[in-house]
Amino acid sequence: MKTQIIVKRYTQGLVDSIKDDREFSRILKGLEYFNELVASRKDLHDALLKPFIPQSKAKKIAEELLKKAKASQKTVRFLLLLIEKERFTLLDDILSILPDAWNEKRGIVTLEVSTVIPLDKNQEKRLKEKLEKIEKKPVSLRYKIDKDLMGGLSIRKENTLLDISVRGDLMKLGEKIKEG
């Protein structure tokens, strides 16, 4: 729980510093690139995360890599801050919520839509239009395949789940039967 709060604070701090979509895209790509690079190379991972490596050396390694990658100044400062505060291990979690936090800043609601099979483009468009009417705001939809659904779909907004699936209907029916 404490880690989630810290992740949200770092993410929000970064989002608050971003001025437009172009800058967001550049920062996101830079963070993802660096994260993948560190994950793919044990020597880099160890240099940035092992306690016996001096922090100054870890920061110097990161600076060199980011310079070669032509990362933006905000990307560099953010990653160096994570290293300095010994929070680099939070980068995966930060990356997972960063797009949603950016959408929220721009007034866009992010919803996760789960279906058994992928929707076609026309179905996606109609669903998006209906959800925008319901939310009275622009929405960003993230699609996920859920083989446990028997049909229909479920929509998640943060901690709220709208289940309009066959499985959901059967579960509701089961609850009514148990109640008598």
CATH no. for residue 133? 3.40.30
Name the phi and psi angles at 117, rounded to 5. Answer: -125, 155
Q: How many domains does the chain have?
A: 2
What digits encode the pLDDT tens for the residues 81-109? 998 898 999 999 999 999 999 999 999 99
Q: Do 87 and 125 belong together in one domain?
A: no
Domain that holds residue 144: 107-179
Band of pLDDT at residue 25, cut at 50, 70 and 90: very high
Q: Do 32 and 96 belong together in one domain?
A: yes
Planar angle of CA 36, 140, 72, nearest 5 degrees: 40
**What is the average pLDDT value for the chain, to the nearest integer?**
87
Q: State the pLDDT at residue 165.
A: 64
Residue where the block lists tokens 């960003």: 140
19: Cβ contacts below 8 Å, ≥ 6 apart = none
Q: Do 81 and 115 belong together in one domain?
A: no
Band of pLDDT at residue 178, cut at 50, 70 and 90: confident
CA 4 to chain centroid, in Å, comes to: 13
Give the H/E segment covering residue 112. Answer: strand 109-115
* pTM (predicted TM-score): 0.76
Identify the CA nearest to 31 among candidates 58, 69, 2: 69
Q: Do 144 and 166 belong together in one domain?
A: yes
